[in-house]
Copies of this chain bind each other. A is one copy, B any other.
Amino acid sequence: MDKLDAIFAPDSIAVLGASTQKGKVGHDIFANILYGGYQGTLYPVNPKAKSILSVKCYGSITDIPDPVDLAMIILPPRLSLNAVETCIAKGVKGVVIVSAGFKEVGGEGLEIEKKIQNMCREANIRLVGPNCLGVINPAPSVSLNASFSKRMPSAGNISFISQSGALCTAVLDFAADKGFGFSKFISIGNKADVDELDLLRYYHKDPNTDVVMIYMEELSRSAEEFISEVREMTSGINPTPVIVIKSGTSDAGAAAAASHTGSLAGSDTIYDAIFEQSGIIRCHTVNELFDYAEVLASKKVPQGDRIAIVTNAGGPGIIATDMSEHSGLKLAVFSEETIKELHKYLPPTANFHNPVDVIGDAARDRYENTLATVISDPGVDSVLIILTPQSMTDAVGTAEAIVKIARSAVKPIVCAFMGVVDVSDGVGLLQKNHVPVYQFPESAARALGALYAQTRWLSRRVLPQYNIEFDKVKGEAIINECMEKGMTVLGELEGSRLLKCYGFNVLDMEIARSSEEAVRIAESIGYPVVMKIVSSQILHKSDAGGVKVGIENSSDVVATFNMIMERARAYKPDAELDGVLVQQMAKQGKEVILGVSRHPGFGHAVMFGLGGIFVELYKDVVFRMAPMGRNVVRRMIKSIKGYPILNGFRGEPKTDIETLEKNLVSLRAMVKNHPVIKELDINPLFVHKEGEGTTVADIIIKLEPVD
Give A residues with C-beta under 8 Å from B: 23, 25, 28, 101, 105, 148, 162-167, 169-170, 172-174, 176-177, 215, 217, 245, 247-250, 253, 257, 284-287, 312-316, 318-319, 321-323, 325-326, 349, 360, 388-391, 418-423, 439-440, 442-443, 613, 616-618, 620, 641-642, 644-645, 649-650
A618 to B390, CA, bound (A): 44
Question: Which residues of the other chain, B, contact A649 by a CB distance below 8 angstroms?
Answer: 257, 613, 616-617
A620 to B617, CA, bound (A): 11
Docked-complex contact B247 and A173, CB < 8 angstroms: no
Say yes or no: A314-B166 contact (C-beta < 8 A), given A418-B173, A420-B174: yes
Question: Which residues of the other chain, B, contact A163 by a CB distance below 8 angstroms?
Answer: 315
Nearest B residue to A313 by beta-carbon distance? B166
Q: Nearest 4 CB-CB pairs, A to B? A: A166-B313, A164-B315, A173-B419, A170-B418
A170, A287, A349, A620: most-surrounded residue (chain B CB, <10 A): A170
Docked-complex contact B148 and A215, CB < 8 angstroms: no
Question: Which residues of the other chain, B, contact A391 by a CB distance below 8 angstroms?
Answer: 23, 25, 28, 148
Docked-complex contact A176 and B420, CB < 8 angstroms: yes
Docked-complex contact B315 and A249, CB < 8 angstroms: no
Nearest B residue to A24 by beta-carbon distance? B391
Docked-complex contact B248 and A322, CB < 8 angstroms: yes
A442: which of B172, B217, B286, B616 is its contact (CB, 8 Å)?
B286
Question: Which residues of the other chain, B, contact A440 by a CB distance below 8 angstroms?
Answer: 285-287
Sample of 24 A–B contacts (CB below 8 Å)? A23-B391, A164-B315, A166-B313, A166-B315, A166-B388, A166-B418, A167-B315, A169-B419, A169-B422, A170-B418, A173-B418, A173-B419, A173-B421, A176-B421, A217-B318, A245-B319, A247-B322, A249-B318, A257-B644, A257-B649, A284-B322, A285-B323, A286-B442, A618-B641
A420: which of B173, B316, B390 is its contact (CB, 8 Å)?
B173
A419 to B423, CA, bound (A): 22
Nearest B residue to A23 by beta-carbon distance? B391
Docked-complex contact A419 and B170, CB < 8 angstroms: yes
Question: Which residues of the other chain, B, contact A167 by a CB distance below 8 angstroms?
Answer: 313, 315-316, 388, 418
A349: which of B105, B247, B613 is its contact (CB, 8 Å)?
B105
Question: Which residues of the other chain, B, contact A325 by a CB distance below 8 angstroms?
Answer: 249-250, 253
Question: Which residues of the other chain, B, contact A23 by a CB distance below 8 angstroms?
Answer: 391
Question: Which residues of the other chain, B, contact A165 by a CB distance below 8 angstroms?
Answer: 313, 360
Question: Which residues of the other chain, B, contact A349 by a CB distance below 8 angstroms?
Answer: 101, 105
A645 to B286, CA, bound (A): 39
Docked-complex contact B173 and A318, CB < 8 angstroms: no
**Closest Cβ of chain B: how far from A20's Cβ, in Å?**
16
